[in-house]
Structure 1
């Protein structure tokens, strides 16, 4: 065999075909679709390839199969912010676990030159999972023009847009109702920055949650525009939570409760308050949204809304693979149950 090995160049399927005595088509089948040739033929070809030290070219293999064997996750913010949000990382974990089961890679897709539309155009993937996409966003048209399967997590879907979500409106209403029940009316709401897909969408998860807060506030004669209710928005990172907390401490009208749409921001607030000598929850209560692992570790433990991020990722990936393989799921829209986790960071006043 040694005298037949190509000298000084990469081994190709032409070499394997020549030495094994089988056609290039049979060699291709041995690596890409063994069921189309006999087990004896396949074993012979693979043995020759091993002896020659052949490694299949992944790009050539994908071209032959006419698929990329990779799923794309469209990051809702730049990598810098997305990677600092434990909720997003748990979603990635869930998606990745299913990709492993199917023998696919997971491609994380941030904006290209601040354009998510350009990122979608260039993505070498067989399907996409998006975070927080609504039916009116420009990105949706780009995905459809590529005729690429997709599923959205935490989106505002249309009837034909596969989705995995919770009832954000009801979850937010539940949380705000509990805060008000505990006597808090001086409230700082910390919302999320808009996703990078479209800054001008009228239907987003943040707006759904705000409407939930509004519903609860009205029951107490308050509104989002009431003087005692202040709304802030921020990126979902620990440092941004600290920055918001500093602003609240410097304001003329300090809230008695911070209601955050993100656990990691709420945790940043708790850390900053504590470091500045402000007792949580004795002087300021803090509540979050997500129930990330860190929410139960922070002191005091964080009151929050539990939404299973990793499970969302798993269900979205399973749904996407079903679509790719030509067996669309019977249920196109899956709403996962949520629940409020009452911990020590919220007290009555």
Structure 2
């Protein structure tokens, strides 16, 4: 015999149990400051006895607020958990959401026509967007939605806050910290375009204006390449001849493959400096460098302990704090651009 499902207690049940009006119960849960302390205690005790919980969906419909922040990512959702720095970024967002009693909705985009609808139909009060391309239609859609949003790393867009470090200055600084003058420089780069085309290029294959969004749609990639170029040119290297391996994603195994491809383009056995756009790529490159018959110095990005103990120069601009800043900006409807602090972290034991 099937046991009948227990009826869910209602506001009226709580009001009857506490001896108050249903409106008083509503105030107790939604505007407790309007209820006398003794009455509030009586209502909460009655609710606990009955097992009553407010219906958040109904509350959202009445208030026009979903009580959730959307996180828009142009990667496979597993990337947010598999990549250590992406996980830190998400953790920073959740830090703020927990303190503000908000939920988090993960919204993947795929670069297809359904992206805009997928983002705009999410039941959220605002958005945090992972770095995307300049011509991403989601940017304009979110800006026109009336809901606040912040973008980590850019691109800049009217009506949206942008949070991130000065990538160009930081890239120049970490490159200059490595022994550039005595070595051949090579670069392991993030994707240049939304197609994520990979391969080995030379400086002369890249756009002259690396910060032009029409030429390099990913602003972080363009700014870091420009910073590397600044440092290499200052050190006397010919940018046109610098090998650049472009990888499709920020994955350690792709760093290994890119480093091997770069080393294969070089002649002789002289020292090499590899400038990688993340610690994950640099740590992957270290595996290929270990088998090379030459000295290899490495730079990365993220300031992780694993990288610095492995002899890698890095840039520290903690993504957890950037996640917090993005969430705060979205919740406060801030539309400005904010540069976060960064620093070059020297390895504990330099490679050479």
- Normalization by structure 1: what TM-score? 0.81
Partner deviation per Cα, 1:153-185 (whole Å, 9 max, x = no partner): 211324653222111111112233344634223
Matches within 5 A, 1:196-235: 202=217, 204-220=219-235, 222-226=237-241, 228-235=242-249
Is this contact kept in 1: 2:80–2:90, CA < 8 A?
A: no
Please, which runs of 5 or more residues in structure 2 have no aligned partner? Answer: 198-213
Q: 2:306 aligns with which of 282, 287, 294?
A: 294
Q: Which runs of 5+ in 1 are unaligned?
A: 1-5
Residue 83 of structure 1 and its aligned partner are, at CA, apart by: 2.7
Alpha-carbon deviation of 1:292? 2.3
Q: How does 1:1-349 map to 2 (within 5 A)?
A: 8-111=6-109, 116-133=115-132, 136-158=135-157, 160-179=159-178, 181-185=180-184, 187-193=185-191, 202=217, 204-220=219-235, 222-226=237-241, 228-251=242-265, 253=267, 256-274=272-290, 277-278=291-292, 283-297=295-309, 300-323=310-333, 328=334, 332-343=336-347, 344-347=349-352
Other structure's SS at 1:120 match: helix
Work out the CA distance in 2 between the residues paired with 1:112 and 1:34. Answer: 43
Change (3 A) 1:140 1:197: farther
Contact 1:307 1:337 in 2 (8 A): yes
Shift of residue 69, structure 1, vs aligned partner: 2.0
1:342–1:289 Cα change, 3 Å = same
**Distance 1:80-1:239 versus aligned 2 partners, 3 A rule:** farther
Native 8 Å contact 2:297 2:351 kept in 1: yes
The TM-score normalised by the length of structure 2 is 0.80
Once structures 1 and 2 are overlaid, which stretch shifts more, 287-296 or 59-68? 59-68
Distance in 2, Cα, partners of 1:260 & 1:102? 37
Contact persistence 2:192–2:222 (CA under 8 A): no
Superposed displacement of residue 81, structure 1: 3.1
Give the CA RMSD over aligned residues: 3.1
2:169/2:227 contact within 8 Å kept: yes
Give the deviation of 1:21 after TM superposition: 4.6
